[in-house]
Structure 1
Amino acid sequence: MCFRRRYMRRKLLYGSIALLFMGVISLTSRLLAKNAHEENHLAYSFMKIQFKKDYDDRYVVFNRVPKCGSITMTTICYRLGAVNGFRVESPFAEGETPQKSLSEQKEFIRHINSQDPPFLYIRHQYFIDFERYGQKQPIYINIIRDPVARFESFYYFSRYGNIRGGGGSKFDNERIHETVDECVAKRRNECTKPYWQVIPYFCGQDPGCLTRSRWALEQAKKNIEKHYVFVGTLEYLDDSLEILDRLLPTFFKNGNAFIHSQQSEKIRNETYTRNKKKTSEKAKQFLRLETSLSLEYELYEFVRNRMFSMKQILLSASNANVDLLRAI
């Protein structure tokens, strides 16, 4: 009898363990399925936000920001155009400004809409809102860079240029040889009120976009959320091109294949700013915190966080259907 009771208790114990194990497996399976569903739903929702019904996906505008790897990106775009079968236009006029008059904005919109698609347009110009003129918005993209790194590149380029030329003409002998550290220490306007800004490229054509203000920053963020399918960073160019490949395969399929090509390497070497000096952390901190670059950093972090969220959704989501451009 005692043996029988022990046997029954052992049987109940093993049965309970088995039921518990099966329950854990069932719960885990449901959780995994739920997570996968939510992950794919998140990917779908994100893509629905990114690719609005009123985007004209036949046209891409890359209003490139200077000193953010724009020449390298332009070279990659031309090569991809030849491989993937779309036309690229990257006009340049000596002395042109990125801010456009109303008539110039209207002419730009007319020009884009008159092109045979698929078509990618590249130019240093501030964002132009097609919807303001009752037209469908093309797909806007861009690449930006760490603000201090960009400032350093401009600072030394204006003095020494690169292999292709540029630099040196507007500085006296004393200032042309000053480092960024010395410029900051002397509180030169060049380093206390940095002239070259990223924010206007996203803020747009309103005169307020040039004010180095919080309003301009917030307007830039709004335009990125509403009008830019993707903004990447130069520091993560491989990731940026991989995301563009997923989002816009018509234009950027296999874009990563060209980053490390011999031609791209040659372009990078030719456009690398001469005689750049290492900047101290103290000077960098001043630029980050005590100048208008503090607003630029807010934009940079906003773009980086958005990019990493996109990467997580697009590259990690199981079975995420990223080709939703026409399905939504």
Structure 2
Amino acid sequence: MSFINIFYLKGRRFKKCWTWLLLFLSAIFIIHFISPLSYTNRCQTKQSIIRDWSIITVDNENEFQSNNFSLISDSFLASRRQFMKEEIRHVAFLKVHKTGSSTVTSIIQRFGWERRLNFILPASSPNLISQNESITTNNILHIDKDETFDILCSHVIYDKKAFQKYLPKDTVFIGIVRDPFDQFVSSVYYYKYRWNVPYLARLPIRYPIKYLLENPSQYEPKILQSSFTKSRMSVDFGLPQELFHTTDKNKILPYLRKIHSEFKLVMIKEYFDESLILLRRILNWNMIDILYIIKNTSKYVPLRGYRDRYLHKQHSFLDYCLYNFFVRIFWKRVRQQGEDFHAEVSYFRQLRSAVEDFCSEVMKKSALHAQVFEAKENEFHSYIVINKEYCILLSMDEVEFSNKLKWRQFPHLRPIGNQNKRPRKRW
């Protein structure tokens, strides 16, 4: 009791101190308890880009079993038309080696499969029309005369006249590039260890990059189109032979401008999701159409030295010109998109991650009930639903999908006994 009296007397004696202490405590209370609530409310009113998505357990599994994805109903299509202009279905994607093009190819294949579009398909390989020439009569499978091709997304050398000979006039041309040195390193390891390409197989197991860059004439093929490691991106873009032997940018630049005028978009591998959002906006596709699971990647730790990048720039100078040119074009395009572009990219990454987690779970054999992933309509997409069948399509690699497309377009080419074979699961 006496302690309380002393405390009270001191409080009266130091009235100003107690007043300041109370104000300080009040400020802390406001900052920690009241301000966050008001800030959250402001965020909810001003920034509504992230919508709820959910996973629905379906009692009647038969309702959702359909090869044509009956979940995508007429009401869904009507909703989508309110969001977007008419989607572009005639697409030529230049599949550039080791640039993330397998993932883009799988996206385009899925888009065409759902709409029963006709693909230009290789005559003798699942995904390679030609490594050293453009489209010819002999290297593709031909459809009936009363039909037309809609999509191209297999490996082939770019040539505008050859492409236009087989594709409609309104076809949109899309390409992709990657940091030249990273593309080179990926090619060395992929084609040496996975495909055992002869000229790369001769490289020492340890430091193959170093040996190749220090002695290119000893290892590189004499025919430029036979190489996977010398300016391969420029080869795939069909740049003239004389440009591979010059460093004169005044000679190179006109051809790069020509490519720019012919391609609606050249994607950048290092900014893959940003590239896909640009692709979606250009082609007027829905966000479900660009969802993906990364394809054809290798886990390795490349052995490379500090001089390797310098030597590679001398080895593949044209690829650096190509890449730097289109990176500048890319970011100029991004700056023209408006304030909501980066918000859409952020939302897409979260949605894609959630879909990948859902598919990983629903593909497990222990799943007892049919489940559906649902994303509500928002400012970036119309209503989205994904079931197990769609997850199977997402998980398929380009070779599996190429065979699937080939067997539907050309049933007589389907191997006997594979009619009921389900796609291989890759998880």
Range of TM-score over shorter length: 0.5 to 0.7
Q: Residues 111 and 126 of structure 1: is their aligned pair in 2 closer, same or farther, counting only changes over 3 Å?
A: farther
Q: Does 1:280 align with 2:315?
A: no
* CA deviation after TM superposition for structure 1 residue 223, in Å: 2.8
Partner of 1:298: 321
SS in 1 for 2:307: helix
Q: Give the aligned length.
A: 241
Tell me how large the CA RMSD over aligned residues is.
4.0
Contact 1:81 1:88 in 2 (8 A): yes
Q: Residues 62 and 76 of structure 1: is their aligned pair in 2 closer, same or farther, counting only changes over 3 Å?
A: same
* CA deviation after TM superposition for structure 1 residue 247, in Å: 0.8
* CA deviation after TM superposition for structure 1 residue 220, in Å: 3.8
Q: Which amino acid letter does the alignment assign opposite residue 100 of structure 2?
A: G
Partner of 1:138: 171
Q: Residues 97 and 209 of structure 1: is their aligned pair in 2 closer, same or farther, counting only changes over 3 Å?
A: farther
Q: Residues 314 and 111 of structure 1: is their aligned pair in 2 closer, same or farther, counting only changes over 3 Å?
A: farther
Task: State which of 208, 228, 234 in structure 1 corresponds to 2:263.
Answer: 228
Q: Does 1:242 align with 2:265?
A: no
Q: Residues 230 and 168 of structure 1: is their aligned pair in 2 closer, same or farther, counting only changes over 3 Å?
A: closer
The farther-off stretch of 189-198 and 227-236 is: 189-198
Paired with 2:129 and 2:136, the residues of 1 have a C-alpha distance of 12
Contact 2:129 2:156 in 1 (8 A): no
User: TM-score, normalising length from structure 1?
Assistant: 0.59
* CA deviation after TM superposition for structure 1 residue 71, in Å: 1.4
Partner of 1:104: 136
Contact 2:231 2:318 in 1 (8 A): no
Task: State which of 170, 177, 181 in structure 1 corresponds to 2:210.
Answer: 181
Contact 2:199 2:219 in 1 (8 A): no
SS in 1 for 2:172: strand
Q: Residues 222 and 177 of structure 1: is their aligned pair in 2 closer, same or farther, counting only changes over 3 Å?
A: same
SS in 2 for 1:104: coil
Paired with 1:217 and 1:275, the residues of 2 have a C-alpha distance of 34
Partner of 1:150: 183
Q: Which amino acid letter does the alignment assign opposite residue 169 of structure 2?
A: K
Q: Residues 314 and 188 of structure 1: is their aligned pair in 2 closer, same or farther, counting only changes over 3 Å?
A: same
Aligned residues with identical type, % of pairs = 17
Correspondence list, 1:1-328, <5 A: 58-82=89-113, 85=115, 87=117, 89=119, 91-92=121-122, 93-94=124-125, 97-100=130-133, 104=136, 115-116=147-148, 119-130=150-161, 136=169, 138-161=171-194, 166-167=195-196, 169-170=198-199, 175-185=204-214, 189-190=218-219, 194-203=229-238, 208=242, 217-218=252-253, 220-250=255-285, 253-256=287-290, 258-259=291-292, 264-265=293-294, 267=295, 271-273=296-298, 275-288=300-313, 290-291=314-315, 293-316=316-339
* CA deviation after TM superposition for structure 1 residue 244, in Å: 0.7
SS in 2 for 1:277: coil
* CA deviation after TM superposition for structure 1 residue 59, in Å: 1.7
Q: Residues 316 and 177 of structure 1: is their aligned pair in 2 closer, same or farther, counting only changes over 3 Å?
A: same
Paired with 2:119 and 2:96, the residues of 1 have a C-alpha distance of 16
Q: Which amino acid letter does the alignment assign opposite residue 308 of structure 1?
A: W
Q: Which amino acid letter does the alignment assign opposite residue 212 of structure 2?
A: C
Structure with max Cα Rg: 2
Q: Residues 113 and 304 of structure 1: is their aligned pair in 2 closer, same or farther, counting only changes over 3 Å?
A: farther
Paired with 1:112 and 1:302, the residues of 2 have a C-alpha distance of 40
Contact 1:157 1:274 in 2 (8 A): no
Q: Which amino acid letter does the alignment assign opposite residue 223 of structure 1?
A: K
Write out the 4+ residue segments of structure 1 that deviate beyond 6 Å after TM superposition: 105-108, 110-114
Contact 1:245 1:254 in 2 (8 A): no
Paired with 2:211 and 2:261, the residues of 1 have a C-alpha distance of 41
Paired with 1:208 and 1:113, the residues of 2 have a C-alpha distance of 38
Larger relative helix fraction? 1
Contact 2:265 2:279 in 1 (8 A): yes
Q: Which amino acid letter does the alignment assign opposite residue 182 of structure 2?
A: A
Q: Which amino acid letter does the alignment assign opposite residue 273 of structure 2?
A: D
Q: Residues 106 and 315 of structure 1: is their aligned pair in 2 closer, same or farther, counting only changes over 3 Å?
A: farther
Q: Which amino acid letter does the alignment assign opposite residue 128 of structure 1?
A: D
Q: Residues 170 and 106 of structure 1: is their aligned pair in 2 closer, same or farther, counting only changes over 3 Å?
A: closer
SS in 2 for 1:152: helix
Q: Where does structure 1 lack aligned partners over 5 or more consecutive residues?
A: 1-56, 319-328
* CA deviation after TM superposition for structure 1 residue 213, in Å: 6.7
Paired with 1:79 and 1:208, the residues of 2 have a C-alpha distance of 38
SS in 1 for 2:302: coil
Paired with 2:158 and 2:91, the residues of 1 have a C-alpha distance of 13
Q: Residues 254 and 132 of structure 1: is their aligned pair in 2 closer, same or farther, counting only changes over 3 Å?
A: closer
* CA deviation after TM superposition for structure 1 residue 240, in Å: 0.5
Paired with 1:137 and 1:106, the residues of 2 have a C-alpha distance of 24
* CA deviation after TM superposition for structure 1 residue 60, in Å: 1.0
